A and B are shown apart, each in its own frame.
Chain A
Amino acid sequence: MAKITYVEHNGTEHVIDVKTGLSVMEGAVKNNIPGIDADCGGACACATCHVYVDEAWLSKTGDRSAMEDSMLDFAEGVEPNSRLSCQIKVSDELDGLRVTMPESQH
């Protein structure tokens, strides 16, 4: 279990306990958090689960996969800390993680 803070584009925060093994995207979708649409359900096919990972957590969330990088290259508002949240697996290590959703998914 890891406590994850999802911050909507307008600043609204949602603090959710997410089960280990789920993705950061699944934690949001199963709790009906606005701003993470995840149209493809985690197949890395749509880039609608784009988040900005809080700088302090970047080393723990790991690197983008090649497919993910390629999808993000064409998404809106991409920053160096952009990730597709379906590609970040939740572990105990990520307890306290903070992610923010981009305006385009608002």
Chain B
Amino acid sequence: MSGSGGHVVIVGAGHAGGTAAALLRQYGFEGPITMVGDEPIPPYQRPPLSKAWLKGEADADSLALKPLEFYAENGIDFRPSVSATAIDRGSKTVTLSDGSSLAYEHLILATGARAIALPIPGADLKGILFLRTAAHAEALKATVGPGKTLAVVGGGYIGLEVAASGRALGAEVVVLEREARILARVACEALSDFFTGYHQKHGVRFELGASVTAFEGQDGHVTGVKLADGRIIACDAVVVGVGATPNDELARDAGLECARGVVVDLDARSVTDPAIFAIGDVAHRPMPIYDRMFRMESVPNALEQAKQAASAIVGKPRPAGECPWQWSDQYDLKLQIAGYAFDVDEVLIRGEPASGKFAVFHLKGDQVQSVEAINAPPEFMMGKLLILNRKPVDKAKLADTSVSMKEVTV
């Protein structure tokens, strides 16, 4: 392992960038590290923004990945409120928004993704919010409460978490979803139905098949959401959760190969330039267990790629193959998802959804491709191993909750 090295510049101070900086030191890297981020605060955990933090159960200190002092104490030059504007790959320098520039030996792009805005009339009204950053969450927290109505555009996981937190804060919540069911792009029908019912039980209203055409406002502030059928849903605030797009313009402008995100190899290294890495939401990366490349938006993915890049820079062996996973907390439900449902030919439900404890297995032949586990840690933990090890399962056993998850393989 190399204990020293040339300057590592990390562009982006989110979960991925912050973790890469910390891991480089943990792995014994002794060279200079500079990390620039366009937010005013050091790297923090984003998942609680839509959950514990929004409900007031976590504070700024507990969100921070590391205390601010950590960076100076560990020789990491952290520069807040600065972004990178250009990369000169020939001279290996990055130009920053404050006019300065940094020379690098290794460059890690951890620029993340940004929330997609709806290009419709009224989109610039006050009270139309997103949930991506601490500043977004602050604005949302200041807006929702008893007597207020929150409209959530998009019935994906972020939207549903915001809906649950909004209800916990005493606000009326209506979720507007373009598709015929919530979670349409990411979950099977059984899971959509389960979440719809659970949210309805907690007082959330749903408008499905609802296409949003405009935001209505008064005195510059949003007062309603207009649907294609002409109805106007009155509200005091809107959260738009319709997906994110990678911040890969910096890489594109520098001539790095991009798909939707910067194309990298198993070391998180750009396929165009070996001195440049891309990690987290901005990376389009190989995933050998599915024999394809894609872009993921999850904390475990950010951490895994931070490990890959830091390992490659210090000459440590590549981390063992991983099974991608993610989680979501809504009310008292813990949803844990392992893998992605690629090439699935059968969906098998283990347990009874009505019991609030079940798991949906997505199978390709007798192999598990993905599992969505609701309050079902054994199904999640074992599912993750089965996905990674590609062990065939006995479907009859898998469907039978009296058989332990430890005994479902053939």
Chain A interface residues toward B at CB < 8 A: 22, 26, 29-32, 34, 37, 39-41, 43-47, 67, 70-71, 73-75
Contact = CB atoms under 8 A, between A and B. Distances in A.
Contacts of A47: 381
A70 B373 CA distance: 13
A15 to B, nearest CB: 16
B327 A40 contact: yes
Interface in B102-146: none
B-side interface size class: 20 to 34
A26 B58 CA distance: 13
Contacts, number: 58
A32 B382 contact: no
A71 to B, nearest CB: 5
Interface stretch (B30-38, B62-70, B234-242, B395-403): B62-70
Contacts of A29: 65-66
B172 interface: no
Contacts of B381: 47, 71, 73-75
B377 A71 contact: yes
A45 B22 contact: no
Contacts of A30: 64-67, 70
B385 A34 contact: no
A34 to B, nearest CB: 5
5 contacts: A29-B66, A30-B65, A39-B300, A73-B377, A74-B377
Contact of A43 (B26, B62, B325, B327): B327
Nearest to A37: B303
A70 B377 contact: yes
A32 B405 contact: no
Chain A to chain B: the 9 pairs with minimum beta-carbon distance, closest first:
A74-B381, A70-B377, A45-B327, A41-B45, A71-B377, A39-B300, A34-B26, A32-B22, A45-B336
Nearest to B66: A30
B62 A26 contact: yes
B378 interface: yes
A73 B62 contact: no
Contacts of B334: 43-45, 67
B161 interface: no
Contact of B47 (A32, A41, A67, A74): A41
A67 B377 contact: yes
Main secondary structure of the interface of A (DSSP, over half): loop
Contacts of A44: 334
B323 to A, nearest CB: 11
Nearest to B304: A39
B26 A74 contact: no
Contact of B378 (A40, A41, A73): A73
Given A45-B336, A46-B300, A32 B26 contact: yes
B205 interface: no
A74 B382 contact: yes
A6 B381 CA distance: 26
B74 A32 contact: yes
A70 B327 contact: no
Contacts of B406: 74
B221 interface: no
Contact of A39 (B26, B62, B70, B299): B299
Given A30-B66, A32-B22, A43-B327, A74 B405 contact: yes
A21 to B, nearest CB: 9
Contacts of B65: 29-30
A45 B45 CA distance: 15
Nearest to A19: B61
A76 to B, nearest CB: 10
B281 interface: no
Contacts of A70: 377-378
B377 A40 contact: no
B48 interface: yes
A69 to B, nearest CB: 9
Contacts of B382: 74
B25 interface: yes
A38 B349 CA distance: 29
Contacts of A46: 300, 325, 327
B329 A32 contact: no
B378 A43 contact: no
A43 B335 CA distance: 11
